[in-house]
Structures are given as structure tokens and as C-alpha cells.
Chains A and B, each alone.
Chain A
Amino acid sequence: MRTLLRQDGMTVIEVLIAAIIFMAGFSTLILLMNSTLIKFSAREILQADNLAEEVMAKSLADQDTTSTDSVFEVAGVAYRVTRNVGIEPDLAGISVTVYRAKQSRKIVKLYDAFVIHK
């Protein structure tokens, strides 16, 4: 303590400045590492996943081979859902992509397929 007193309070200021620099740097680093984090909230990811899963499950169950582009609203948030179907011999490949309608940013993309029985 005696040694610190001899510093005439310099350390407090240094600590404050160092902390501010550290926090600013750390925040920037976090934002750089996870730019998606500010794009979509966990709630949006969850809602988009559920929406994609629902559309995919229905497409597989109905064996629906039509491509669609529609907008769904879940708890006040609008999502654009596209379903693209690629037909191969005996097989229909389905791609379901969910975007946030406001920004047209892709949140999730699923691919599955079903057999076309003749």
C-alpha cells in the first residue's frame, strides 16, 4: 500500500483507461467473430428453424413437387419461405430456405428428398 501511495493516484486513471480500451476491443472482437449475432436473435433462429422444419415435413408428407415462395408471420416477425423442388428420376429433392422478410437475409436452408413411386 505504501508503494501505491507513492504513485500519486496514477494507477487509478491507468486502470480506468485500460479497462475502457479493453472493453471496447473485446466488444469489437466479439462483434467481428459473430456478426450473425446482431443479425438474428436466438428467437428468430428458433422460429426460422421451426418454420423450415414444418414446411419440409409437410412437403415430404404431401409429396408436394411444386416450388413456392411465400411469407409467414410468426409472433409479429415476417419470414419469407422458399421451397425449390428438383426432380430427378424417381426422386424429388426439396430445398427449403427461410429468410427474414424485412432484410432478405437467409437464416436457415434445409435439403431433403422423397422417392416418387410410379
Chain B
Amino acid sequence: MTRNVTRFGSILRASRLTNQSGSVLATVLVVLIILLSIFLSAMTYALSRYGRHMANQNRLAASHLSDAGVSRTVALLQEERFRPGTQEWTAPNGGRITVETSAWGPYVQVRSLGKYRGQEVATVALIGTSHLNWQSAAITMTDESNPLVIAGHTRIIGDVNTGSQGMMEGQFRGEGVTYPDYHKGVNRKYAALDVPALDTAVFDHYKRELRQRRGRIEHRLSGSVVLDSADIATLNSYTTVRIENNLRFQNVNWQRWDRTVSFFVDGSVEITGQTRLSGLIEIVAGGTITVSDSASVDNVILSAEDSVVVRDAAKSSAILISEGSIIVRDRASLTYPSLLLCDVPEGPTQPGGIYLRSRGILESVCYLREKSFHGFLTDRFLYVDTVSQARGTLISQSYTDLRGRLDGCSMTERYYFAYPPTTYLNWLKDATIDRTRLDFTPVLPALDVDTASWYVLRQDRAS
């Protein structure tokens, strides 16, 4: 018992703990493990919460950097026009901004990536132009040789820009009595008015890139194809897909903002059912593209050599491009920001146009492009029937046949009204054009960029 008195064990024995058979050690270990667990849990919780807060803070900074990239691109467009390519710079807070500029249809597309302390936020924006001098008026008609004739119950609320012939009242074979208070606003007469023309630098760049994408197909599908949501996982890995016959999207829900996917379809395309397509999706068809049922398309480009038809309860805020006709009908609605661009090829016999029929509702921008106006009557119209209504900006480098309601403004080379067997040039009958009911100025595609200001049309987070 006297051995080894200097050891701590003796002290413990003196404290009458010697006969505990090691239970003290076990108790101490258990208590320590509990304390350590509490300590570690508290530290882990505090650190993860702190890390989350820091990540949120850095993400907030990165998102502002990404927005700043878009603003800087708009400023550069104001200064030096359209310069496709990639630019990178350091922000005053130490973050990095990478901006990739390209074309998305007739708009400038910017993909801006903000990086701040390990966090990255990408933004995709579409940039277009506004022409306040034209868009503030209800009507701009550039024909210099004929007056604008107002007939029937036509009402114009807003300013009217015409050629030197001005505007006057008219009657259709005695039955179209002009509304006594047909115009509220000013009639400005100009010597040389022009409908704004599409900026070829942007749109031609888009077409060139489209041709390049068509030349490097990554995935081919033969025959007609029906895609549903299950197929999207496979297609997500490709950027260019070719379908050798027809394509149908049936109840597909697909959002793709990280990179562009292009479908080149030799035949026709149907987007039906409950399909939802949004993001950087581009569908180019040799035949007709039809959006129907309750389908909706957002930011997508639908480009057809033949017609694009939006009908039933379909919704679109997409860019519809056609070399033939674009038809909106049967309660289909197009919401801003969207564009209907009819790009009719050269040649006086080629028919085409934009048609709003049977309660088609448009809140958007329509642009009927004709590279050179021939001056003689063709089958190219921007047409709004008596039961359809448009809200936004209608631009036609050819004829406009306006019979329904337009809340916004219309710019055209000439108006047209057919009352068989006679056709009337620059006559408006029973139409209502009210500029005061459009409380915003739509951003148009890149048109006449020398006289325009650039604005952001839409901005979406891509990550």
C-alpha cells in the first residue's frame, strides 16, 4: 500500500474512489463526449449559418455585378453600336464581370456572369431600341402622295404623323359616315417620313450564327418525333438537334437558360397540350409552327419558312419569325415582351403578313419587314380584324389593314381597306386607335439604331 505514493492514483484512492471499479473513468468519458458533442454541434451550426449568410452576401454582390454587366453593354451599344463577342473586367469591389454579346433574333442578347468570392450569378437579357418620337404618336403614315382618310366610326386618340397631304374625312359609297369627333390630337405633316428599318448588323449576325449552328448538328432524329417531358433529360446535353420530319412537343415542361439549344426541323412543328417552353430554346422549321391548346412559350424563338400559328388558349411571350404568315387567332394571347416578325423575302409576288383574327389578343410588337417597298398592292398585310385587339406597337414596311382596336401606335407605309370590288388606299374604317391606353413604351427590335436609344426588353436569371 505504500508503494508509489507520488502517483495520482494514491490521491484518488485517498478520496475513496478506489473501489468504484473504473466507473469514474466511464462517467468522465461520457460527460466529456456529451460536452464535446454539444460544443461541436454548436460550432457546426454557427459555422454553417455563418457560411450561409456569407454565401448569401456574396451571391447578392455577384447578382449586382451580373446586372451591372447588362447595363454596361447597353451603354456600350449607345456608344459604339453592336459588337458581338466576350468582354471581361474587374468591378470596383473586386468582383469579376464577364459579358457575352450576341443576337437573339432581331434583339441583342447579353449573357452576363457576375463572380464574387466563389459565388456566380448569370443573367440573360434582351436589349432593343425605343423611338420615342414615333412611338408617342397614335399613327405614323409615311405615304406622301395620298392623305390619310378617316371613314365610318374610326376614332383616333393621339397624335397623327402623315405626309404633306395630311388627313381628311371620307365615305364608303354613302354608308360610312365619319364619326364627328374622329380625332383628338395633333396632325403633324412631314416631308420625308420613313418607317424604321431593322438594323441588319444585329439580325444578319443572328442569321449567320443560325447557319453556323445548322452546320454542326450534334444529334439527329429520323422520322417524325413526339417529345414529352421524359425525353428532355436526354436532349439537355445537346445544343443542336435535327429532326428529319415533323416534331411535336406534347406536355413538355422545359426551362433552359444555361445555354442555347437549337432544333432544326425539316417538316412542321406542333407545340400542344400543357407544354411550357422557356429560355434559350430556338426552333427552326421548314414547314408550319403551330402553338395550340394551353401551351405557352416564353423567350423562345419560333422561326418558320412557312407560317407560325398561335391559336386556342395558347400563350406566348416569344419571338415569332416567319417568311410567310404569322396568325394569331381563337382567343390566343400574346403578352409583352414578345415579337411577331414577318420577314418577307424579296419579290413582289410572295404573299405574307401578320394576321390577328377571331378574337386574337396581342400585347406586343408586330413588325412586317419589307426590304424595299414596291408601292403597288401586294398580299402583304399587317391585319387586325374587327373582333381582335392589339396593345402595343404595330410596324409595317408594307400595308396595314386595321379594323379592330389598337391601344398603342401604328407605323406604316400605307393603310389599306378592301370593300369589294373596290380597294381603298390609306383609308381607315371603323377602327379605334387609342394611344392614351398604352401606359408604357414597348422596346422594339434593333431598328434604325442611329436615331434610337437602347433599352433592356427583358432580363432573366440564368442561374
Contact = CB atoms under 8 A, between A and B. Distances in A.
Contact of A16 (B22, B28, B453): B28
A68 interface: no
Interface in B89-136: 91-93, 95
A49 B50 contact: no
B24 A12 contact: yes
Contacts of A81: none
A109 B93 contact: yes
A112 B32 contact: no
B8 A90 contact: no
Chain A interface SS verdict (over half): mixed
Chain B interface bracket (under 10, 10 to 19, 20 to 34, 35 or more) = 35 or more
Interface of A: 1, 4-5, 7-13, 15-16, 19, 23, 26, 30, 34, 37, 42, 45-46, 49, 52-53, 56, 84, 86, 88-91, 93, 95, 108-118
Contact of A90 (B4, B47, B78): B78
B54 A45 contact: yes
A5 B61 contact: no
B230 interface: no
Interface stretch (B69-77, B146-154, B272-280, B365-373): B69-77
B65 A111 contact: yes
A13 B8 contact: yes
B441 to A, nearest CB: 12
Contact of A12 (B25, B47, B60, B61): B25
Interface of B: 4, 7-10, 12-13, 17, 21-22, 24-25, 28-29, 32, 36, 39, 43, 46-47, 49-50, 53-54, 56-57, 60-61, 64-65, 67-68, 71-72, 74-75, 78-79, 91-93, 95, 453-455
B120 to A, nearest CB: 15
A111 B8 contact: no
A6 B43 CA distance: 37
A110 B60 contact: yes
Contacts of B29: 15
Contacts of B50: 34, 37, 42, 45
Contacts, number: 117
Contacts of A13: 8
A42 B46 CA distance: 9
The 3 closest A-B pairs by CB, nearest first: A8-B9, A91-B75, A90-B75
Contacts of A109: 61, 93
A42 B49 contact: yes
A4 to B, nearest CB: 5
Nearest to A56: B64
Nearest to A95: B92
A111 B95 contact: yes
A75 to B, nearest CB: 16
Contact of A15 (B28, B49, B78): B28
A115 B74 contact: yes
Nearest to A60: B67
A110 B78 contact: no
B60 A111 contact: no
Given A9-B25, A42-B53, A91-B75, 13 more contacts: A1-B22, A5-B21, A9-B12, A15-B25, A34-B50, A49-B53, A53-B60, A86-B92, A88-B75, A112-B67, A113-B68, A115-B78, A117-B455
